[in-house]
Structure 1
Amino acid sequence: MSLYERVFEHNQQWVAKQLQQDPDYFKRMADGQHPEFLYIGCSDSRVQPEDFMGVSPGEVFVHRNIANLVPNNDLSALSVVQYAVEHLNVKHIVVCGHYGCGGVKAALDNKDLGALNTWIRNIDDVYRTYRTELDAITDKEAQFRRLVELNVQEQCINIMKFSFIQHRRVNSFYPHIYGWVYDIATGTVKDLEIDMDKFKDELAVYKLD
């Protein structure tokens, strides 16, 4: 049996197990979602937020792409954030990168990836913003890890630039925005403890009213 075929067999087993434990499980799921978290992460197959966060279905709204980016011209990411904030009323937004990220490494290595170059250019911009700090790091692995962290920080700032985020935070103090990095080698999550308030004056010029 191929892996593809095993997926459907596993699905039937999983459904039976869920119904045995809770006959109303799927009915409850179908009634709607009320997540407190919006999780924005990398598409890397090794990074599964539901596992390392220990959350259940319905508790986290998830958006993933290469290198966990939230560019201001990406309609998909913007739509996810706006829907999560204005319709699902999430209280927490997490941008989670991970050490060993292939997208960040591609930006560091300046490789020609064809059509992907346009997407990776967003990380090039992060590097350019923090060039002085990054170029001062002589250890290549440490430099790589630091760019992963700075990329997360910049995506958090990009989220703060959205006018609907600023308006919501003024009126309700939510959503809170966090930057995390997941370490695949250890399975642990690092909170970068980014103080978003320190960017308030800088972000005022980016309001999209």
Structure 2
Amino acid sequence: MSSSYKEILAYNEKWIAEKTASNPDFFNELCIEQKPDYLFIGCSDSRVDPDIFTGLDLGNVFVHRNVSNIVNPIDLNVASVIQYAITNLKVKHIIVCGHYGCGGIKAAMEEEGIGKNSPWLQIIKDIYRIHKTELEKIKDETKRYDRLVELNVIEQTENVIEMDCIQSLKGTQDYPAIHGWVFDMRTGKIIDLDLDSKADDKLAPGNRSFFIKLKSLFKK
């Protein structure tokens, strides 16, 4: 059951009281600086909150969220977040997290509503097209959507790896571990797709990522 607007403000007052009761310096310490070990790139879906299902507290995770957790190579927003996270915050892990039941994935495939003409969701449509043979072999519609969610995470994780600011750190101690996750809302489980870039820099051997393709276009 959702809270009313006034209930949210009332909860905030209660939360402040609880925090200061256990640690009078909590907010003084909180505002000094942030030193998160994790950058979380996730979906804007209201049911996918990393603070809730990871147990990470305030100050432990730097967060960027957008529709369908897309790392668009020409999106200055996500590029700036990643640059700041690795250069200023020195994060040790970058997590790209999708989720089963993603509305953006479904909209892109059904081509209804925002999915019909959305240039943002065209990225997902392209992923579907590239993996069309595999996906169309999956007769169960739910399982097909689930697989596309996973393929989208793989592609966006590779896009992170191919960013110049990430590549420049290869071979140094500041090079972050890069992970692909799917959050299963049906069970609450985090599914690690085991795409740690430190173990294997090539997530999809033989396939150039969209990031590389787009970079090559701008260099012409």
Q: How does the TM-score come out when normalised to structure 2?
A: 0.87
Matched with 1:23 is: 24
Question: Structure 1 stretches (4+) deviating beyond 4 angstroms?
Answer: 200-203
CA spacing shift, 1:199–1:173, aligned 2, 3 Å = farther
Matched with 2:73 is: 72
SS in 2 for 1:17: helix
Tell me the distance in 2 between the aligned counterparts of 1:5 and 1:182: 31
SS in 2 for 1:172: coil
Structure 2: which amino acid aligns with 1:18? K
Write out per-residue CA displacement over residues 157-204 of structure 1, whole angstroms, 9 at most, x where no aligned residue: 11011111011132226211100000111111000112542528857x
What residue ranges of structure 1 are gaps of 5+ in the alignment?
A: none
Tell me the distance in 2 between the aligned counterparts of 1:131 and 1:122: 14
Matched with 1:142 is: 143
What residue ranges of structure 2 are gaps of 5+ in the alignment?
A: none
CA spacing shift, 1:115–1:80, aligned 2, 3 Å = farther
1:199 corresponds, among 202, 207, 213, to 202
CA spacing shift, 1:52–1:143, aligned 2, 3 Å = same
Structure 2: which amino acid aligns with 1:190? I
Structure 2: which amino acid aligns with 1:199? K
SS in 1 for 2:172: helix
Matched with 1:61 is: 62
Tell me the distance in 2 between the aligned counterparts of 1:116 and 1:160: 29
Q: Which moved more, 1:168-177 or 1:111-120?
A: 111-120
Tell me the distance in 1 between the aligned counterparts of 2:201 and 2:159: 14
CA spacing shift, 1:187–1:21, aligned 2, 3 Å = same
Matched with 2:13 is: 12
Q: Which moved more, 1:169-178 or 1:20-29?
A: 169-178
Tell me the distance in 2 between the aligned counterparts of 1:169 and 1:26: 36
**Identity of counterpart residues, as a percentage?**
44
CA spacing shift, 1:108–1:57, aligned 2, 3 Å = same
Q: Which moved more, 1:108-117 or 1:18-27?
A: 108-117
Q: Is the 8 A contact 2:177 2:196 kept in 1?
A: no
Equivalences for residues 85-164 of structure 1 within 5 A? 85-113=86-114, 117-164=118-165
Structure 1 residue 69, shift from structure 2 partner? 0.6
Tell me the distance in 2 between the aligned counterparts of 1:6 and 1:115: 37
SS in 2 for 1:156: helix
Tell me the distance in 2 between the aligned counterparts of 1:68 and 1:40: 6
Structure 1 residue 140, shift from structure 2 partner? 1.0
SS in 1 for 2:118: helix
Structure 1 residue 112, shift from structure 2 partner? 4.2
SS in 1 for 2:121: helix
Write out per-residue CA displacement over residues 100-144 of structure 1, whole angstroms, 9 at most, x where no aligned residue: 000001111122427961111111111122112111211111110
The root-mean-square deviation of aligned C-alpha atoms, in Å, is: 2.2
Larger helix percent: 1
Task: Give the number of equivalent residue pairs.
Answer: 207
Structure 1 residue 152, shift from structure 2 partner? 0.4
Write out per-residue CA displacement over residues 41-67 of structure 1, whole angstroms, 9 at most, x where no aligned residue: 011111111111111111100111110
